[in-house]
């Protein structure tokens, strides 16, 4: 794994602010051969104003919010349609990381019918899943490289399951898309980040190497 440093980093303190900090070291190049990325989307995932560049910052948002503080801690992700499971390390989904036109979303696949997802889909998903943000971050970078960036000028929105039972989905879709406003996916986690411009520039440079 190669590491890249952002010279003018920032400390992300929620959707409201971002203050300068010491240089930030982030995972750069990852093995994109691991896993199978479904570089497919549906019409209700897209919007006219979608810009793939915004997805870079959504991934950085997740890195700063969750990956950096506990990359290998296991969390039990669960659907908002069900009561919270017992235990302390649990996170309700959907969970969104939104930057202007692009939203990176963590959603339980249990919420979907088998015909709703493009590409490969296996039925029988659970409404909870164990996963680490290290695993999720790696998946998000792979989708970004192989699909959003690697499929030409327009890019392609994408998704991939993670976890032992493959029940948690990592999705990229347009913020103004129909699916992002689906009533099954409550809006309580939606918000706009305000990341330091120098940090974003350094992160984009590290990914494009």
Mean pLDDT, the chain cut into blocks of 10 residues (209 residues total): 35 38 44 52 84 92 94 93 86 93 94 79 81 96 87 73 93 93 71 49 49
CA dist 191 and 94 (Å) reads 13
The pLDDT, as a whole number, for residue 4 is 38
The pLDDT, as a whole number, for residue 130 is 96
The pLDDT, as a whole number, for residue 63 is 95
The pLDDT, as a whole number, for residue 187 is 63
Query: pTM for the whole thing?
Result: 0.75
For the packed helices 53-62 and 133-143, what is the interaxial angle rounded to 10 degrees? 170
């Amino acid at each position: 794994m190669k590491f890249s440093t952002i010279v003018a980093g920032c400390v992300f303190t929620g959707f409201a602010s971002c203050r300068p900090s010491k240089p930030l070291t982030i995972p750069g190049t990852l093995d994109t051969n691991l896993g199978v990325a479904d570089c497919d989307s549906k019409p209700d995932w897209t919007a006219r104003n979608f810009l793939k560049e915004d997805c870079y910052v959504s991934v950085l948002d997740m890195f700063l919010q969750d990956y950096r503080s506990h990359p290998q801690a296991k969390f039990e992700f669960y659907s908002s349609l069900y009561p919270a499971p017992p235990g302390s390390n649990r996170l309700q989904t959907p969970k969104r990381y939104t930057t202007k036109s692009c939203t990176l979303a963590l959603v339980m696949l249990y919420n979907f019918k088998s015909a709703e997802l493009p590409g490969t889909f296996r039925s029988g998903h659970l409404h909870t899943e164990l996963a680490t943000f290290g695993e999720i971050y790696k998946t998000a970078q792979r989708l970004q490289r192989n699909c959003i960036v690697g499929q030409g000028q327009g890019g392609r929105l994408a998704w991939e399951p993670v976890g032992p039972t493959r029940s948690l989905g990592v999705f990229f879709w347009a913020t103004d898309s129909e699916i992002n406003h689906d009533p099954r996916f409550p809006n309580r986690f939606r918000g706009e980040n305000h990341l330091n411009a120098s940090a974003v520039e350094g992160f984009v440079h590290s990914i494009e190497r």
